């Protein structure tokens, strides 16, 4: 089981999105996601978030908020607990990312990108400014979303 963070950094009505195209053996290959990554030893979620954002973007977050915890269960991949954040404040200059291409995408256009199906669910929750949530997403061996539970209740697939 692994612990990760993911952050959607917002500026001028757009999210900073990462098109995963450069990393070898990447379970997210070809997908567009926020920025984040795996916890290192003894890190808190916030420490992981700040480190990963700085490593992947060159930015230092100054205003961020935990929005929810997403549990990924897969017949193919290791179970993952992801701490999901949004951020609206940062300093620094955007740098290139060694995992893919970073691009500011208008929030209304994000849904048109190649995304994981479960990501569409939590992106809608973010857009609705839903209170902090727990979302469980279950995928089959072909990476198809087969079930979703929001705060312990089925939310349809």
What are 62-99's pLDDT values in tens digits? 999 999 999 999 998 999 999 999 999 999 999 999 88
Phi then psi dihedrals of residue 123, to 5 deg = -65, -35
User: Given pLDDT bands bounded at 50, 70 and 90, which one contains residue 119?
Assistant: very high
Closest by CA to 63, choosing from 119, 132, 12, 10, is: 10
pTM: 0.94
Asked whether the predicted pLDDT for residue 149 surpasses 80, the reply is yes
Phi then psi dihedrals of residue 46, to 5 deg = -65, -40
What are 7-47's pLDDT values in tens digits? 999 999 999 999 988 766 767 778 999 999 999 999 999 99
Instruction: Assign 56 to helix, strand or coil.
Output: helix
- Structural domains of the chain ordered from first start: 2-154 (3.90.79.10)
Interatomic CA distance for residues 116 and 60, integer angstroms: 27
Comparing 25 with 48, which gets the higher pLDDT?
48
pLDDT at 16: 98
């Amino acid at each position: 089981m692994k612990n990760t963070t993911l952050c959607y950094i917002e500026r001028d009505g757009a999210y900073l999105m990462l098109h995963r195209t450069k990393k070898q053996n990447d379970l997210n290959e070809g997908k567009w996601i926020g920025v984040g990554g795996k916890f290192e030893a003894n890190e808190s979620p916030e420490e992981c978030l700040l480190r990963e954002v700085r490593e992947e973007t060159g930015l230092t977050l100054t205003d961020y908020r935990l929005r929810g915890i997403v549990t990924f269960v897969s017949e193919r991949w290791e179970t993952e607990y992801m701490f999901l954040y949004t951020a609206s404040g940062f300093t620094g200059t955007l740098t290139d990312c060694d995992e893919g291409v970073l691009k500011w995408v208008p929030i209304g256009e994000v849904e048109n990108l190649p995304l994981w199906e479960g990501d569409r669910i939590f992106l809608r929750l973010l857009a609705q400014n839903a209170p902090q949530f727990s979302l469980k997403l279950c995928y089959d061996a072909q990476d198809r979303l087969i079930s979703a539970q929001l705060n312990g209740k089925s939310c349809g697939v």
